[in-house]
Amino acid sequence: MSEFEDKIVVVTGAAGTLGTAVAATFHDAGARVTGIDIVESDAPWRTTTADLIDPGTATAAFAELGDIDVLANIAGGFTMGDAVVDTSDATWDFMMNLNARTVFNAARAVVPAMKAAGRGKIINISARGGLRGAAAMGAYAASKAVVQRLTETLADELKADGINVNCILPSIIDTPQNRRDMPKARFDHWVPPADIAAVVAFLASNAARSIHGASIPVEGLS
């Protein structure tokens, strides 16, 4: 029997390519999966729509799901920006909301119950791009750096309560959108979503019980 049998696992951004892979990994392992996304999706696990950028909506969405064992914060995205001095408020807010505020709101929604239960796993998705700035990527890099700092802070605050918080730093993920955006790239050098999902599952497992606040690179050959 899988250690995830009948565990309550919530995957945000579950309608996307990576979120679907993560949800499928836990579903196949026997978990009771709920996928949360702002758009509807057809999946063999429970799905619910919610805008996790709004704190009230996020709290309400998670309140319906019971005592959550694993939170996989997969919601997020990328947009190429402008030079910092030319970056609009809209672009800055979009990246910060999509990548950082969703993690912030989801954590605030689930942590009190996890603390009461004395257990829980939270896995966030940052990015290799969050390790240092790059031209025309200021808002994206900053938002993913925030995810790392939130991960480290939550881990430090919660490890004594039996809760593990860690994050993953993918490079380029092999998604249909990335293939359309970069048609001449070496797709075989990119990271398959299933490989990232496997790392998420590891961080949610008992084998990772002593790992707190880690940022794990998953880069393939890129």
pLDDT digits (tens, 9 = 90+) for 58-89: 999 999 999 999 999 999 999 888 999 999 99
Token pair 């758009």 is at which residue? 39
The answer to whether residues 219 and 174 touch, using CB atoms and an 8 Å cutoff, is no
What does the block give as tokens for 221?
């050959």
Token pair 């990119």 is at which residue? 190
Percent of the chain with pLDDT over 90: 95
Q: Is the pLDDT of residue 1 over 80?
A: no
User: 0.75 cut: is pTM over it?
Assistant: yes
Q: Is the pLDDT of residue 123 over 90?
A: yes
